Structure formats: structure tokens, C-alpha cells
Chains A and B, each alone.
Chain A
Amino acid sequence: MLRIVTLLSIFALALFAAGDATFEGKRDLNISAIIMFFIFIAGTLGITKWAASKTKSASDFYTAGGGISGFQNGMAIAGDYMSAASFLGISGMIYLSGFDGLVYAIGFLVGWPVILFLMAEKLRNLGKFTFTDIAAYRLSQKEIRILAAFGSLSVVTLYLIAQMVGAGKLIQILFGMDYEYAVILVGIMMIVYVTFGGMLATTWVQIIKAVLLLSGVTFMGVMVLATYNFSFGELATQAVAMHEKGQAIMAPGAFISDPISAISLGMALMLGTAGLPHILMRFFTVGNAKEARKSVVYATGFIGYFYLIIAVIGLGAIVFLNSPEGATYFENGKLIGGGNMAAIHLSHIVGGDIFLGFISAVAFATILAVVSGLTLAGASSISHDIYAIVIKKGLASETDEIKVSKRSVIVIGIVGVILGIAFENQNIAFMVGLAFAIAASANFPILFLSIYWSKLTTRGTFIGGFIGLITAVILVILSPTVWVDILHNAEAIFPYKHPALFSVTAAFIGIWFFSITDKSQRAKEEIQAYEAQNVRAETGIGADGAVDH
């Protein structure tokens, strides 16, 4: 079976090489990129084969048997987080408007320390396969699993569409391949990695990609800085001289305009991270709380380093692309592929064709790795939360559960490809915004309160969680991004682009109110059960794989 899929993907690759002939202009066939690309695919398929031989139980499939070390997991988390949106998006933002890009990067990063202090070890001590395990620990299984599966699957689907569209566009520009083939190729590869190799393969693909990406950006950063005797000040001076906005690129600009939007965006970035199912799932792949903590330190270190280098690369792109030799990357006065391609063009200037090929292959690998993680998180939610616990009431055999999970991967992969093609020309920014808003407003409050608040009840969680989810969706639809930009209405009903401040508050109030007014017998039992849950959360006694003696 693995061989058939390998053949299929080689066939798809051949197709896209052939597809180049029909592609209009943009970029010549990038031979070195395609070679790098083949090397990467061959390598990762090898890993998948190895991982497949090691993946036997449900625990192997969902969480790599809990055998990932803190360092490896930190690398994988960093890999999940350094998505194409971070790499290409933030460097592009700095290229276009300077410091504002760095504000985004900081917002993405500061969530990590807070996750470490308040959540990481408790997640490890209470969870097993999905983050829902924690919320459902003492609450009624059925309602909580359904609610959380709703939250997980909406976040996963929206994020997946955004990544698929991004992947299609990127590959179209990098390799000159047709958009549809590009999306199908990503879908096939992702299904292969996840169905055969499960979490182990997904983690290793993520680690390899993180190493390649970090080495690539380091090389670029060093090349840029070396031109200016390793003086950031000199680089900045040149960038200000070259950029049309001049000195304005050195300080926050129009991008964050009013206090409410600023706070709301900050909340979405920070709390959204703590509610992304594919990120939360990573905490179950390590053996104990100690390794869970270590993984966050490594992850924060790698991500922080990455963003610092991205700041250099963004300014480097301003200088190099506006110089005479940068003129070849413009067509009719516009940067080929838009601002998001700034880092890719810069890689060609500093490292030539081979390095461009390397960075292109890494950018592709990045997307592939992130969609694999997302798909696995979505599939676990279907097979573990819905199938094994809600439908089979916990009596499903492990073999059946894995079977359902693998089928779910295939279904999610196909759905991702279809939606990716359908949404080709849509604005994808709102999907990412919506994914983060739902993660922050539905998943995060449920998770946080189930860990910390003893008086939480099933009724409160169920009603409040849906209030958060629905508020987030409605406010995004009524916001300028959808109501004006996509639906072409004159004025937005909800004036802010980021709903998190309102929807997170709504979720917390909803959960609080419907919990304290819940006087049922079940509520009493749930409140009583908090004590035991809390002891386990604090000490790890009774947690899976946590006893290390």
C-alpha cells in the first residue's frame, strides 16, 4: 500500500513538472527546487515507513506512545508554530510595513510562557489522547465530547483550508505547477504520512522541517547581516533609506489603530494558541510533566530565535529587493507573488538557485507538516471523542478505533483538498482569524476552567462553550473582514476585526452563570470529583505513563 501511494505521489510530481508547460509566466521551472523537493519527500516517506513499523496501538498512533523526549517535542512544537504563515507572512509584513510585523511575532510568542506556567504540566497529567480528555475528566462524557469535537473540528477545518490555499498558491509560484495539482499533491502526501505513520511520523516530519527551516533562516540572516558588518543599526539605516515609508518602518504604524482592537488581537493570539487542538495534542506525546515543561522551554527558545531572525530577514528584504539587483523580482512595479514572497526572493539573492530551491522545498515541507498535525488532531477528535466514547460508549476495540481514525484522516484529507480548491480565490486571512477566535473562545475557556475551577458543571460548560463558539463566529461574520471585504456591505455591523475580547468574555460569563445555577445531583457529584482531579493534575499520580519508577 505504501508503495502504491509512493508511486502515486511520484506520478503527481511528474504531472506537476509537465503542468509547467501550460503555466503562464511567473517563474521558470525551478530544477534545484524540484530536486530538493524529491530528496525531502523520499526522506520523509522513509521515516513514515519506519514509523509505520513502530505504530501498533492507539497510543502509538495518537501520541507516539508518549515516547517523544522534551527536546524533540519542543522542536516539533516549534515546527507546528513556525508555519508558512509565520515564515512568509511575518517577513512579508516587515518587508511591507516594518515594525508592525514584529508586533504580530511578539503576540504569537508570549502565549508560550503563559501556557507553560498555567497549562503544560496539567495537560500532561490529565490528558491522554485529545484535549477533550481533560474537560471530560469529571464532567459528563457525551456532552463534553460533542462540544469539544465541534470546537476542534471547526478550528482544524478552517486552519486546514487556510493552509491548503496557502500551499496551493505557494507551489504555484515556486514550481510553476497548477493550483489544483498542488493542492491534490499536498492532500495525498498528508494522508500518507498520517495514516501510515501516525503521530510518530508526523512528529519527525515536523522536527526535520523545523531543523531545515531554522538552518535556512539562519543562513539568510547571517548573509544579510554580513553585508553590514553584523551591525543591525547599519542594516536599519539602509532599510529606512530604501523604504518608501522611511523612518515610519522603525515604529508601530497604522496597523493597530484602536485600543479595543489591540487588546482583542493580543487575546486572540495568546489564548488562541492555548486552544489549538494540534498544539495541545503535542503535550500528550511526552512521558511526564517534567518533559512537558522542558518541551515548552525549547519551543519558546526556537520560536523566539526564529522571530528575531525574521526581523533581520524582513529588513534585509527591504534593502536587497529595493536595490538595483532586486529589480528582476518585480513585474509591472509589483513584487512577484506579493509581499508574502519577499523572503523567498531574498533567498535567491543571497544564496542563488540552489538555496532558493532549498528554501522553496522547506516552505513546502512546512505546510505539509502543519497540515499533517492538523489532520491528525481532527481525526483523533472523530475517532477518540465521537466514535470510541460517544457512539461506542468507551467499548470500542483499539483496532477499530485506529481504523476509524485512519478513515477519518482520508476523509479530512479529501475534504481539505475540495475546500482548498473551492476557496482558491477567497481571502484566507479571515479563516485564520476565525480559527484563532474559536480556539480562544470555545476551546480555551473550557480547558482552563476545567483545570482550575472546582464549581464547573457539565451544563455550564456545554451552554457556555457553545455561547463562546457562536459569538466568535457571528462577530467574525459581522466584522469588517467578512461583512465589508467579502460580502461587500458598506459598513460593518461589528466595528472590530478581532472578536476575541468579546467572545472570550461571553464564554467565561456563560460557563460561570450556567454552572453556578446548576443545582442538579450530577452537578454536585462533578464538583465533588474536582478534588481527585486536582490532586492528579498537581502530582501526576494516576496519569498515563507518568509513573517513572
Chain B
Amino acid sequence: MNDELVKKIKSNPKYQELVSKRNSFSLKLSIFILAMFYGFVLVIAFNKEVLATRIGDGVMTVAYPIGAAIIVISFITTLIYVKRANGEFEELTDSIKDDVKDLL
């Protein structure tokens, strides 16, 4: 990639919009996942009795539903990310490519 092309892309407002929107979106989602996972790990490390709390009269504890929820939520966040990334962000990327197609 030559300097002229880099310069042109970087000064394109759509590029700046893409980078700032996508980076803040992926950062937020990453922090969410990390907080959820390490929150879970820290509860196990410091206060695992909490997870042994029973639901109702049976043997069922909160541990299993929480564990299953972490798995399901992880999957849902990937869906949320890809819906926006493959839609909005991909459109922005395409229009940036379009703007510089003479230089490609």
C-alpha cells in the first residue's frame, strides 16, 4: 500500500467513523465478556458457597443456570457483534473502498 493511498484513506471521514465506531463497539463487548467471565472466576475463587445456593426445595443450585447462561450469553454477543459488523461496518468499508478505487 503506498503512502498516497494510506493518506487518502486516513483522511476520509468515513474511515475515521468506521474505526472509532467499531473500536468502541468491540472494546465494550470485550470488556463485557471479560467482566462476566472473571466475575464468575472470582466468585469461584473467593466465595464459591454463593454458587451452591439452592433454587427452591430441590437439589438444583444457581451454579448450573449461571454456567449455562454464560455460554448462551457469549454466543449472543457474537451474534450482536456480527450483525452490526457485517451490516453497518461492512457498508462503510465498501464505500471507503469505492472512494479510493482509482488508486487501487
Q: Are A240 and B64 in contact (CB under 8 A)?
A: no
Docked complex Cα distance between A233 and B29 (Å): 32
Say yes or no: B29 contacts A113, CB within 8 Å. Answer: yes
How many residues of B are counted as interface, with CB atoms below 8 angstroms from the partner's CB atoms? Answer: 55
Query: Closest Cβ of chain B: how far from A111's Cβ, in Å?
Result: 9
Q: In the complex, what residue of chain A is closest to B93 when comparing beta carbons?
A: A539
Q: Given that A294-B82, A311-B68, A535-B10 are known contacts, is A109 also in contact with B74, CB under 8 Å in the complex?
A: yes
Q: Which of B46, B63, B70, B100 contacts A99 (CB 8 A)?
A: B63
Contact present for B70 and A106 (CB under 8 Å)? yes
Residue of A99, A110, A289 most packed against chain B (CB within 10 A): A110
- Complex alpha-carbon distance, A263 and B104, angstroms: 47
Name the distance in Å between B39's Cβ and chain A's nearest Cβ. Answer: 11
Task: Indicate whether A118 sits within 8 Å of B51 (C-beta atoms), given known contacts A252-B63, A300-B78.
Answer: no
A118 touches B26 (CB 8 A): yes
**Which of these binds chain B: A39-47, A301-309, A407-415, A486-494?**
A301-309
The SS class assigned to the B binding surface is helix
A38 part of interface (Cβ distance < 8 Å): no
**CA A118 to CA B79, docked complex, whole Å:** 15
| CB-based nearest A residue for B3 | A532
Number of interchain pairs (Cβ within 8 Å): 162
With both chains docked as a complex, state the minimum distance between the C-beta of A322 and any C-beta of chain B, in angstroms.
15
Q: Is the CB of A103 within 8 A of B44?
A: yes
List residues of A whose CB falls within 8 A of some B CB: 99, 102-103, 105-107, 109-110, 112-114, 116-118, 121, 232-233, 236-237, 240, 247, 250-252, 256, 258-259, 261-263, 266, 270, 289-290, 293-294, 296-297, 300-301, 304, 307-308, 311, 531-532, 535-536, 538-542, 547, 549
16 more contacts with CB within 8 A, not counting A110-B37, A113-B78, A538-B15, are A102-B67, A106-B70, A112-B78, A116-B82, A250-B52, A262-B42, A262-B45, A296-B78, A300-B74, A301-B78, A308-B71, A532-B1, A535-B1, A539-B9, A540-B93, A541-B5
B interface residues with partner A (beta carbon < 8 Å): 1, 3, 5-6, 9-10, 15, 18-19, 22, 26-27, 29-30, 33-34, 36-38, 40-42, 44-46, 48-49, 51-52, 58-61, 63-64, 67-68, 70-72, 74-75, 77-79, 81-82, 85-86, 90, 93, 96-97, 100, 104
